[in-house]
Structure 1
Amino acid sequence: MIDPNETFSDTLMGFTLPRRSARGRIVRLDDVLEQVLSAHDYPAPITHLLSEALVLGTLMGGLLKGDDAQLTMQAQTQGGVVKLLVVDYRAGAVRGYVDFDAERFATLGANPSLAALFGDGYLAITFETEGKQRYQGIVPLEGDSLAEACESYFGQSEQIPTLIRVASRAGAKGRVAAGLLVQHLADGEEGRERLHVRLDHPDWEHVSVMAGSTSHDELVDPTLSLEAIVWRLFHEEDEVRVQRGARLSRGCRCSAAHYESIISRFPADEQEDMRSADGVIAVDCAFCSRTFALEI
C-alpha cells in the first residue's frame, strides 16, 4: 500500500548528507511526463530523449531557489538530425519539445546513439536567479547520454563534482522517467582549499560510489518511494535529511492573452505583415502544439 506521507511521483525531493558535505535531488515523472509527451507524436527514441531531458531539467532546476528562478536547457546542432531540444523549469512547472528532421531520423534505425542524433552538437544550460541574474555554461554533446553532458557542465563550468543517473521506460500506463543528482558542496572559508576542486576527496568518493549503485529499475519502480531509494543508498550515514520540494506540473505558459501582449509590441506595419488573408495572426506554440488565432 502506498504511504501518503512518502514521495512517489511528480514531486521533486531534496536531501542532504551533512557529514559528507553533499546534497542531492531525486524525482520520478509520471502523469506530468505523459502530459508533455502527448502534445507531439514522437517516435520512441525521441520520446526517450525528451523524457531524459525533462528529468535533467527538473533535477537541475530544483537546485534554484525562488518562484521566479528558471533553468533552461537547450541542445542544438548545425545539420544534425535533432535540430533543437529545449526544456525549461520554473517553480515546479516543466516543459519541453524536440524539433527533428523526420526523414533523416527514419534512416538511423531503432536505437540511434547520441552522436547519431546530434552530430557535433552542444548543450547550453542557463540558470536565471530570482534576482534576474543569468549565467550560462556550454559543453559539447559527447558521451552516451544527456546526463553525461550535464555532469560535464557542472565539472567544467562550476567545478562541482556531480553524479547524475537517469532512467526511463514505457509501462502499462504510459512512460515513466526518473533521475538522481548528487553533488559535493563547497566547504571552507576563503583562503582555504575548497572541496569542490578536489575530485578525489574521500567523502565525495564514498558518496559517488553509493549514489552510483542505484539501479534503473529502482528509479522507475512506481511502488518504491523516493525516500526509500535515498535510504537504500545512504542508510549507513550518521544523518540524512530529506525535504519534499515542488509539486510538478506541465509548465506550458501559452495563452492567447500572452501572445497578444507580445504581438502588440511590434510596429503596426510588421503586425500587418503577420496577418493572413482573413486578417488573423496565427501563432504556434512548439511546447504544447497548439495554434492561436489572434484577431488584434
Structure 2
Amino acid sequence: MAENSGYPGATGFDQVLAFTVPERNARGRVVRLGPVLDDVIAAHSYPAPIRHLLAEALVLAALLGSLLKDEQGQLTMQAQTQSGVVDLLVCDFRAGELRGYARFDRARLDELGPAPTLHALFGDGYLAITFDLAATGQRYQGIVPLEGDTLAAACESYFFQSEQIPTLIRLGVQSDVNGCVAGGLLIQHLPDGEEGRERLHVQHDHPEWEHMRIMGGAISSAELVDPALDLETLLWRLFHEEREVRVEPGLKIVKGCRCTSDYYRSVLSRFGPDEREEMRNEDGVILVDCAFCSRVFEIDLD
C-alpha cells in the first residue's frame, strides 16, 4: 500500500474495508459512516449525547457484523437496563443493511449535563451480542456487563469472555451542524485460525498481539473521522512497516429498516380475532409504529 489519499477506488464513507496481517496472525475491519449514519439518526430528534451514543453503536454493529462469513447472517447488538436513563439501545447489521434505535428518558438525561458517562446513561446495564447464521440456522449469543468507559470496551470484554479472542476496538465520532461522521477500527489476534479450533490457551500477552495492539492503539479519533483520509491510507499509516497487509473491500452499507406493511400484516395475523379487534382504532385499522424508522403503518386486515 502507498499513502495516496483520494486515488480512484479509495474507500471512503459507508463501506467496510477488511484487512489481514498474515505474519502477525491478525485480522481487522475499518469503517467510516457518513450519509448512512445521518439517515439512521434523522429518524428521531435525538439530543447530542444520545446521537453520539447511537453513532458509536452503529459503527460497532458495522464492524462486528462484517465479521460474519454468512452474507445473510445478522449481528444484533442490544444494550439494556431497567434503571438507566437509556433503557434500550439496539442496532443490527445484515448483508450491509444497518439500523439502530435508542429509547431514553429525556427529563433524566437533561439532568446529566452535556457529556454523561456510560454508567450515568445505563447504570448497571448489560450488553448482548447475537450472531444469527442464516445458512445453518444457528444462533450464538454472549452477554456482558456494561462496564468500562465506552461501548467499545464492553465489546472487547465480550470477545475476551465469550469468544476468547484478543480484540482491540477504537472509535471516533464527530457531530456538528453539517451532520455526523463516525469511524471505527477493529483488530483481532487469531493464532489458531478463524474457525474449527478451540482457543483454550489464548495468550493476551502474545508478542504478535502485543505488537498489533500497540500499532492499532496509535490511531486517533480525528483520523477515524477525517473524510480526507481514505481507509487504505489510514491502514498504511498504521502498518506500513509490516511485510504484508492484505486489504479487501467489504459490503457497501445502507440504511436497512426492513419494515413493510406485508411484514406487519403477517405478524398481526398470528393474533386471535379478539386480540386484533382490540388493536383496531375507530377507523377499523391497526396502527403500527416502527421505532427504527419512525414510520407509522396503517394495517387493514380486512
Q: Do the aligned partners of residues 235 and 212 (structure 1) sit closer, same or farther apart at CA in structure 2, a change above 3 Å counting?
A: same
The answer to whether the aligner puts 1:37 opposite 2:29 as a matched pair is: no
The answer to whether the aligner puts 1:83 opposite 2:87 as a matched pair is: yes
Give the Cα–Cα distance (whole angstroms) in 2 for the partners of residues 15 and 110 of structure 1: 36
CA contact (8 A) 1:187 1:195 kept: no
**Aligned partner letter, 2:246:** R
Query: Which structure 1 residue ranges, 4+ long, deviate > 2 Å from structure 2?
Result: 1-4, 192-196
The answer to whether the aligner puts 1:258 opposite 2:263 as a matched pair is: yes
Following TM superposition, by how much is the alpha carbon of 1:278 offset from its aligned partner in structure 2, in angstroms?
A: 1.5
Give the Cα–Cα distance (whole angstroms) in 1 for the partners of residues 112 and 49 of structure 2: 10
Unaligned runs of 5+ in 1: none
Q: Indicate the SS of the match to 1:197.
A: coil
Identify the residue that residue 219 of structure 2 maps to in structure 1.
Answer: 214
Q: 2:184 aligns with which of 179, 187, 192?
A: 179
Give the Cα–Cα distance (whole angstroms) in 1 for the partners of residues 202 and 38 of structure 2: 39
Give the Cα–Cα distance (whole angstroms) in 2 for the partners of residues 8 and 143 of structure 1: 30
Identify the residue that residue 61 of structure 1 maps to in structure 2.
Answer: 65
Identify the residue that residue 50 of structure 1 maps to in structure 2.
Answer: 54
The answer to whether the aligner puts 1:25 opposite 2:29 as a matched pair is: yes
Following TM superposition, by how much is the alpha carbon of 1:194 offset from its aligned partner in structure 2, in angstroms?
A: 5.1
Instruction: Give runs of aligned pairs for residues 133-144 of structure 1, distance below 5 A.
Output: 133-144=138-149
* % identical equivalent positions: 62
Identify the residue that residue 250 of structure 2 maps to in structure 1.
Answer: 245
**Considering only aligned residues, what root-mean-square deviation do their CA atoms show, in Å?**
1.8
**Aligned partner letter, 1:251:** G
Instruction: Render the CA deviation track for 1:237-276: whole Å, top value 9, x for unaligned.
Output: 1110000000000010011111111111222221111111
TM-score normalised by structure 2 residue count: 0.94
Instruction: Render the CA deviation track for 1:111-146: whole Å, top value 9, x for unaligned.
Output: 110010000000000011132210111111111100
Following TM superposition, by how much is the alpha carbon of 1:67 offset from its aligned partner in structure 2, in angstroms?
A: 2.7
Give the Cα–Cα distance (whole angstroms) in 2 for the partners of residues 172 and 95 of structure 1: 22
Give the Cα–Cα distance (whole angstroms) in 2 for the partners of residues 274 and 232 of structure 1: 57
TM-score normalised by structure 1 residue count: 0.96
Unaligned runs of 5+ in 2: none
